[in-house]
Chains A and B, each alone.
Chain A
Amino acid sequence: MKVLILGGAAMLGPYVARELAPNNNLRNTDIKPPEEDLPGEFFLLDASDLDGVDAAAACMDAIVNLSVLRRDRKTAWDVSTRGCYNMMQAAVTHGIDRVINTGPHYTVAGRHITEILDFGIVPDIPPQPGTNLYALTKAMGLEICRVFTEHHDISVQHYLFYNFKAPAAIQPGERYAPYVISWENSAEAFTLGLDIDLDALPSRNEVFYVFADMPHGKFSNEKTKRILGFKPRKDVENLWK
């Protein structure tokens, strides 16, 4: 499959590229050059550039959006919200029916409900990101994707993450977020997302929490395992053992 990766030089990008490279032709893009060689092509591209995203999507079968800029208001809206619009418009133009979008866990479950009160938090809730810049800009990107899927034959899978770990670097007793995954394990979800029969997805706009099995029950990754066939590794358990 020919896959366009937006934000491919960012933190998760190299892991995803290495995971997908053996079975796909990759077109990596980012606003900055990668710090290491990535398998496949690489182009400099600003996700907020509609014409640039459109050109990069030509002849592609799927788009994976890893782009993120979370602190500056201008770039956060440019990348996380307008970037999604550009991506979806490019998908329409080039007949691409498979998109994997990414964001933080609070894209749908804002901090006001996730961090304090609740357990068993699932991804299929009406998005309620609150006004946190990162959460809201990604939530608006998700909403744009949803609107496009209502009008076009495009399936979007949203993979939401919280905290990534390098298992070898875990220190005894270190504090950790209630939603953790190793970099390598997270990348494996993208293979599943590219391989899955789109008709097997419940709808054309699906949200998944991608993280390791964790014993405290704060969030639920059940849907990700059930629908995508995701296999959480047991490589971050030293956090709580």
Chain B
Amino acid sequence: MRILITSASHDRSAALADHLASHHEVRLTERAHVETEYEFVLSALGHDRSTNLLTRGIDAIIHTAEPLPGEDVSSQLDAATRGTYNLLMAAAEEGVRQVILLGTLDLMADYPAGYRVDETWRPLPQTQPPTLTKHMAEQVSREFAREGSLDVRVLRLGEASDATVADAVVDALAQPASLAAQHRSKEEGARDPWLITHVGERPQ
């Protein structure tokens, strides 16, 4: 499988690349140059042909939607919304089968301690990053799934090791994408194009 991982400057993206590279072809991208042993494409995730080329030939995207170091709130919001939109629009146009969005379980931190909060509960973002930006990236991605143009898996990461996160990503990749969404059957066994999974412990 050919996998594109965004936010290459982040440790989590690098750790995922290391984990996945033994069984997959990995391409990394970032909005600034990053030194890496893997294929790297510098991309601003803009509305232009370069974003289509970034996603061309890719089977799955792991979109981490992380800020650049020192980035102000407005730029973080721009990257999480417009950047995600451009990436997913290009992915849909290029026939990418699956998107895995790495979110945060911080979105559920405001529920009282001890509650058994699951993926069906409403997220409770703050008005600042990271919860606001992660929430907005989810919201943008959800509309692609709603329209059936992409299969989107959201992994909301809590307190979890890199190994646990990598296992969750591998599990998500192993699920056959229910692609050709326009032909998707609603009969038993058909998968929904939008699925959220909580990974690790919820911050409380």
Contact = CB atoms under 8 A, between A and B. Distances in A.
Tell me if B's interface is mostly helix, strand, loop or mixed: helix
B77 A85 contact: yes
B87 to A, nearest CB: 12
Nearest to A128: B146
A138 B140 CA distance: 11
B143 A74 contact: no
Contact of B136 (A48, A89, A140): A140
Nearest to B149: A131
B127 A151 contact: yes
Contact of B81 (A77, A131, A147, A150): A77
A151 B125 CA distance: 10
Contacts of B127: 88-89, 92, 147-148, 151-152
Interface in B103-161: 124-127, 132, 135-136, 139-140, 143-144, 146-147, 149
A77 B74 contact: no
A206 interface: no
Most buried by B among A140, A148, A152: A140
A131 B144 contact: yes
B82 A77 contact: yes
What class of interface size applies to chain B in its complex with A?
Answer: 20 to 34
Interface string A84-108: 0110110010000000000000000
B85 interface: yes
Contacts, number: 72
A140 B135 CA distance: 10
Contact of B139 (A74, A140, A148): A140
B78 interface: yes
B147 A147 contact: no
Contact of B86 (A73, A85, A88, A140): A73
Tell me if A's interface is mostly helix, strand, loop or mixed: helix
A130 B139 CA distance: 10
Contacts of B135: 143, 147
B196 interface: no
Contacts of A77: 78, 81-82, 85
5 contacts: A77-B78, A110-B143, A139-B139, A140-B139, A147-B125
Interface of A: 48, 50, 73-74, 77-78, 81-82, 85-86, 88-89, 92, 110, 112, 128-131, 133, 136-137, 139-140, 143-144, 147-148, 150-152
Interface of B: 46-47, 73-74, 77-78, 81-82, 85-86, 89, 124-127, 132, 135-136, 139-140, 143-144, 146-147, 149
CB-based closest 3 A-B pairs: A77-B82, A73-B47, A131-B143
